[in-house]
Structure 1
Amino acid sequence: MSRFGEATAVEKVADGRYAAVLDEGFGFAEALNGGYLMAVLGRAAVDASPHEHPLSTAANFLRVAKPGPAEILVDVRKAGRTAATARVSLVQNDQALVEALITTGTLDAASEPDWAGAPPTPELPPIDECTGFPRVEERSRGFADRVHMRFDPVTMGWMDGRPSGRPEVRAWFELADGYPADAYSLALAVDALPPVALNLGAKGWAPTVELTWHMRAVPTPGPLAVYGDARLLSGGWFDEEVEVWDTAGRLVAQSRQIARVGRTS
């Protein structure tokens, strides 16, 4: 099994209860990535469901999750023929860290959309014209070593103290261990970009408070194109909207989150 597969694995220990071991490699410093945590929760929700895919995940991040053992509680609220919904909680040391409402369903990988909007513009440059992961401290390298991301240089001016003034970041995304694009890597991809507020002059850690993401299609193999932007930064809060497109030019995931800005530790 790949590193990502092992890192997101869950074990059923009783009805509605799962055990997991959270992997320190999917975080920055001591904070685990929210997309990674949603992938873990999604696996438990799908295991408790008659359906194959986490179609909608609305997650509230209450506390910072730490590497190590954790418990996932799944309370199925409805199980229908086309969709099932469950409240899913991530718990460590008897404290809820993430509370999510996850709706599962089954997508047909061969289906074609009845209608689709145009891809985002501008398009991402070819991968070999993009830049590598931003420089990070050694203690924060875990996540940077677990994913292969190549960024549109136009959106990375903040790295050199020259933020563009436009809240946007664009990148190619793959798991470094070769794990294929699927529902769980999509959960990671929607929260993998550096905060778009960095291009507005923000600095430091930007903790996500709430994130909702939708799986729209089963992705084709290959790198994913990830586009992030925002509409408003105000009063220490900013939003971030992300679209993920696969190699077939299909929208496969989309998300919106609300986050705090301006924390340096």
Structure 2
Amino acid sequence: MGRFGEATAVERAGDGRYQADLDQGFGFAEALNGGYLMAVLARAAVDASPHDHPISTAASFLRVAKPGPAEVLVEPRKSGRTAAMSRVTLVQAGEPVVDALITTGTLETGLEPHWTGEAPPAMPAPDECSTFASGKDDRGFADNVEMLFDPATMGWLDGQPSGRLEARAWFRLPGYGNDGCALALAVDALPPVVLNVGAKGWAPTVELTWHMRAVPAPGRLAVHGGGRLVAGGWFDEEVEVWDSAGRLVAQSRQLARVGRGLT
């Protein structure tokens, strides 16, 4: 299962109730990554569903989730032949932390699309990309999620942001394959695109909606992030995830707060 599989595991504790142990290795300092939290919710939603895949998730992030014990509550809203819908809530210390509406369905493996739009520009080869490995013993997000970043979108690290809302990277989870839970993490794994227009620091997600469009092929995933507007302390971020077979397998849009550096 790899560390990610263990970190997103849920244990049924009753009708619509699951226990989880949130892993600090998928966060930054004490704040856990939103995509990781959505993967935990997806794991519970699929377990409680007759269907195999989390095809649509609309998540509101109410509080900062901390490492340690948590409860996941799954409240069915509809169950049908092609889709089931549930309200799924992550709870810590008696308070809701993430509240989501998750729709599950079953996607055919290897299904070719009837039509698809233009693919994004090609990524540089992995050996031409840069990493964020920390090299520390307390292995954090950068060491548990293998990401190789397009150098053209990383100028903000050297005080030379590109001036565009953008981020791109290759994505892979060591010891774990590509599935719906991996995609939940992938859509929220990039550095905030707003860093490339001068923002600094943490950019907390307020709401994120993502869709699983296909079962991904094995291999690295190409994650492309962009956006449309920064205004009034808010920005949007749109992400597409493409697999090694050249198929669009996930897409997302989130609304987040701007960190420091912009007025």
Cα separation, 1, equivalents of 2:232 and 2:203: 14
Residue in structure 2 matched with residue 234 of structure 1 by the alignment: 231
Asked whether the equivalents of residues 62 and 206 of structure 2 are also in contact (C-alpha less than 8 Å), the reply is yes
Deviation for aligned residue 1:178: 2.1
Task: Note the aligned Cα RMSD (angstroms).
Answer: 1.6
Instruction: Name the SS for the 2:143 alignment partner.
Output: helix
Counterpart of 1:87, as a letter, is: R
Asked whether the equivalents of residues 207 and 260 of structure 1 are also in contact (C-alpha less than 8 Å), the reply is yes
User: In 2 relative to 1, CA 21–205 (structure 1 residues): closer, same or farther, beyond 3 Å?
Assistant: same
Residue in structure 1 matched with residue 59 of structure 2 by the alignment: 59
Structure 1: gaps of 5 or more residues: none
Deviation for aligned residue 1:263: 4.8
Cα separation, 1, equivalents of 2:185 and 2:111: 24
Instruction: Name the SS for the 2:42 alignment partner.
Output: helix
1:145 to 131, 143, 146: 143
Deviation for aligned residue 1:137: 10
Residue in structure 2 matched with residue 219 of structure 1 by the alignment: 216
Aligned length: 261
TM-score scaled by structure 1?
A: 0.96
Deviation for aligned residue 1:262: 1.6
Instruction: Name the SS for the 2:140 alignment partner.
Output: helix
Residue in structure 1 matched with residue 3 of structure 2 by the alignment: 3
Counterpart of 1:8, as a letter, is: T
Cα separation, 1, equivalents of 2:15 and 2:153: 46
Residue in structure 2 matched with residue 206 of structure 1 by the alignment: 203
Cα separation, 1, equivalents of 2:253 and 2:143: 25
Percent identity, aligned pairs only, is 72
Asked whether the equivalents of residues 134 and 143 of structure 2 are also in contact (C-alpha less than 8 Å), the reply is no
TM-score scaled by structure 2?
A: 0.96
Instruction: Name the SS for the 1:82 alignment partner.
Output: coil
Asked whether the equivalents of residues 3 and 175 of structure 2 are also in contact (C-alpha less than 8 Å), the reply is no
Please list the CA deviations of residues 141-180 of structure 1 after superposition, one character each: whole Å capped at 9, or x if unmatched: 61001111111111100000011101101100001x2211
Instruction: Name the SS for the 1:218 alignment partner.
Output: coil
Please list the CA deviations of residues 98-153 of structure 1 after superposition, one character each: whole Å capped at 9, or x if unmatched: 000000000001321111111112x11110111112x7796996100111111111
Counterpart of 2:95, as a letter, is: Q
Structure 1 moving runs of 4+ over 4 Å: 135-141
Match status 1:247 vs 2:244:
yes
